[in-house]
Amino acid sequence: MDKLLDSFAKDLNAGYPGTAIFFGEPMSRHTTFRVGGAVSLLAEPKSIEAFVWAVRELRRLDLPWMVLGNGSNVLFSDGPHRLVVLGTSRLDTVRLSVDSMIPGAGVLLSRLGNAALEAGLTGLEFAHGIPGSLGGGIYMNAGAYGGEIKDVVESVTFLAPSGTLRTVSGADCGFSYRHSRFEDSGDVILSATLRLRPGDPAAIRARMDELSRARREKQPLNYPSAGSTFKRPAGDFAARLIEEAGLKGVSVGGAQVSEKHAGFIVNTGGATYDDIIALMDEVKTKVYLNSGVILEPEIRIVP
């Protein structure tokens, strides 16, 4: 595998200069949980063309790989990982028109919210405080405070497992609560067209400020985390069930059920993958025993 990795990295850099390439890179540096061991190779192509070449070549070489956005909804084990990670952070262009924008998969949702504000476009206020990227947001239909990515996606351009570039309408993305067709299809999201509406910049700013205040007041932003740890169960809230089970503030090693918001497991310092998984298991077990509800993880786990 090492010779194939060296050859892949050399060819990628030769064909597409400027690609960032890191061997043995710790994922703790690239995830908001600040947890995760080293992967064999992390590459961050700076164009869609380079990204497409990299995916096709990895498939041809039959090397294990995955795509990573901002790492805000991912938990890596402490490794090491015999894995190539393709980061989307450099797919960060944004094109604007009168009532839409076309961002690359790596653009942060917070940046899109600000770009929409500057252009006087409404519809992305809910995304202003979400720490993920566009690609990750589409992948899991990210949302907050009554808004979801599905509300604004007109189309998505992606690389299919066949190696062909395709575009699908938002209506055909299979969006549901924290889910899209891309979780099951093997497609790689590259960019999207978002349909917005002209709005009053003052009103847009006021709504964004309101949501920012709510996040600061309710969420444990002072500790590393991956956001909400569990999906919202039908007709209820994970945080309420966790608190009702007496788990608020419970710790395993450096991992803790947040004392501020029970829906978050946070890294209070030095948390390991095993700490977080053990705490998640304890939460699931005690919530089930207390309420009969089986909580499902919202975060993506890379063991």
Q: Among all residues, which ones are annotated catalytic?
A: 178, 228, 298
Q: How many CA atoms lie within 13 A of 206 on its CB side?
A: 5
Task: Give DSSP secondary structure letters for the chain.
Answer: -HHHHHHHHHHHHHHSTT-EEEEEEEGGGSSTT----EEEEEEE-SSHHHHHHHHHHHHHHT--EEEESSSTTEEE-SS-EEEEEEE-TT---EEE-SSEEEEBTTSBHHHHHHHHHHTTEES-GGGTT--SBHHHHHHTT-EETTEEGGGTEEEEEEE-TTS-EEEEEGGGS--BTTB-THHHH--EEEEEEEE-EE--HHHHHHHHHHHHHHHHHHS-TTS-EEEESBPPPTTS-HHHHHHHTT-TT-EETTEEE-SS-TTEEEE-SS--HHHHHHHHHHHHHHHHHHHS----B-SEEE-
Structure tokens of 142? 């990210």
Structure tokens of 143? 């949302």
